[in-house]
Amino acid sequence: MPSATDSKTYLVTGSAGFIGFHVANTLLKRGVPVVGFDNLNAYYDPALKRARLKQLENTSAKEGVSFNFVEGNLENAAELNACFESHDFHRVIHLAAQAGVRHSITHPEEYVSSNLVGFANMLEACRTAKTPHLVYASTSSAYGANTTSPYSESHGANHPLQLYSATKKANELMAHAYSHLYRLPTTGLRFFTVYGPWGRPDMALYLFTDAIVRGEPINIFNNGEMSRDFTYVDDIVEGVLRIAEKVAEPDPDWDASAPDPATSNAPYRIYNIGNNQPVKLLDYVEALENSLGRKATRNLMPMQPGDVKNTYADVTKLTEAVGYRPSTSVKDGVERFVAWYKEYHGID
């Protein structure tokens, strides 16, 4: 775990994004220099992204630790390589990607460009720079049609239900190839429904809050018969930073005749990172209603294309590796989001 005396620089891609912002902010508060990399695209309002960057600049000034921001595109290898040539990175935490399950159904080309071409450029940059450890974002959506619960990294994840999850699964395979060929240590983290302050406006909690505040109905899909392993962002950040310091190593017990997909004889790891306590969607909505002091008008809808009914993370491997133990209840997490939302939007 990086300490206040650690002067080694982290690269955090997607630093203007939701999780990337929180990771970078926590590093800065711990006295760790950060280089942020983001293209500030218009998938959602860039004003929110710039507000996050302003907060990072404020933290940097307050803590007296360096934060340098690079506006660039992952799919532009020259821009990414220039960033690596200008710094010696102790760790790379790669969280930049084109996000959004449903957006991938209508805009597949954006996912090919950012999540495939961009990730290939990142792997090549890390290989060339001999980066000590690359940690990157995967997704619980990788489990796709697999309904075994709870999801384990040792289960199959070979039947994605939309292109977003297919690109993330491809990232895991690409990372393994680089770990095998070049001994580049890589760790992929399958995130489970992250929420909290500074969250993305296209995610359920933000959409529901917007609608309730405006007196508009909220759309609840599959008639509310869904559950999610909602995971508060601070718990996610703690897991990310702990695993970043545990450099992936070859698994001495890996058996090529019965291969565990979560490990390898290469320096490669895959971990789930979630709350390990799935919550019914309607209970999540109720927690939001209680925090806002308002009832929602619920518009019950059929299942959306590419969606799944339930997610549930088995986090045993991550707990064993770094002592990961999420501690934030949905009630507390939603209350903290609502407090931030009101402050950010100037609502009494």
With CA atoms as reference, report the closest residue to 97 among 183, 28, 163.
163
Token pair recorded at residue 246: 């545990």
CA 195 – CA 159 distance, rounded (Å): 26
Q: What is the DSSP letter of 113?
A: I
CA 284 – CA 334 distance, rounded (Å): 8
Angle (nearest 5°) at CA 136 between 134 and 139: 155
Active-site amino acid positions? 164
Instruction: Give Cα 171 distance to the centre of its chain.
Output: 14
CB crowding 14-32: b at 16 or more within 10 Å, else e: bbbbbbbbbbbbbbbebeb
Q: Are strands 67-71 and 89-94 parallel, antiparallel or unpaired?
A: unpaired
With beta carbons less than 8 A apart as the criterion, state whether 12 and 23 touch: yes
Token pair recorded at residue 327: 């501690």
Contacts of 3 (CB under 8 A, 6+ apart): 30, 31
Token pair recorded at residue 113: 């460009």
Contacts of 143 (CB under 8 A, 6+ apart): 151, 155, 157, 190, 308, 311
